[in-house]
Amino acid sequence: MADTPQVFALNIANFVDKAKAAPTHVVRKIGLDLATRVVMRSPVDTGRFRANWNVAFGRVDTLTTPSTDKAGGKTIERVRVQLNGWVPGQEIYLTNSLPYAIPLEYGHSKSQAPQGMVRLTVAEFQTFVNAAVAEQTRQ
């Protein structure tokens, strides 16, 4: 199980129909909001875990980096840039392939993320969809 990447994959294209105008913008916004929440919920010791959240389209990204990002800002900006490359029809995968990703998701960090990061964020998915659609319809 230690070699299994923590995968967060949602086919948000199913929700694009709610936003008749600029669906690409809506999907990218949802992806960024979800990723931001997961990154910021990630426990921090050295910052390496936060720095290892990756976005890929249509596949799981299993790469890891020795980089660190305690604040999370560099990782979120990298994800934002990556999401700009998304095109309709592609599945978006948010992954963290460090060997301790799954233990952290299931409460290994009792003080910082006892309920994980991904499961909490997935539970908020509809909130992100509603916010992105509302923002788009205001424009």
**pLDDT tens-digit map of 41-55:** 999 999 999 999 999
Instruction: Kindly list the domain boundaries of the chain, sorted by start residue.
Output: 6-138
- According to the model, what pLDDT value does residue 1 have? 40
CB 33 within 8 A of CB 127: no
Other Cβ atoms closer than 10 A to 105 = 21
Q: Which of 77, 113, 114, 118 is nearest to 94 (CA)?
A: 118
What pTM was computed for the model? 0.84
Q: What is the CA 106 to chain-centroid distance, rounded?
A: 17
- Alpha carbon distance 42, 30 (integer Å): 18
66-97 pLDDT per residue, tens: 999 999 999 999 999 999 999 999 999 999 99
**Residue 119 vs residues 19, 116, 134: alpha-carbon distances, Å:** 25, 6, 24
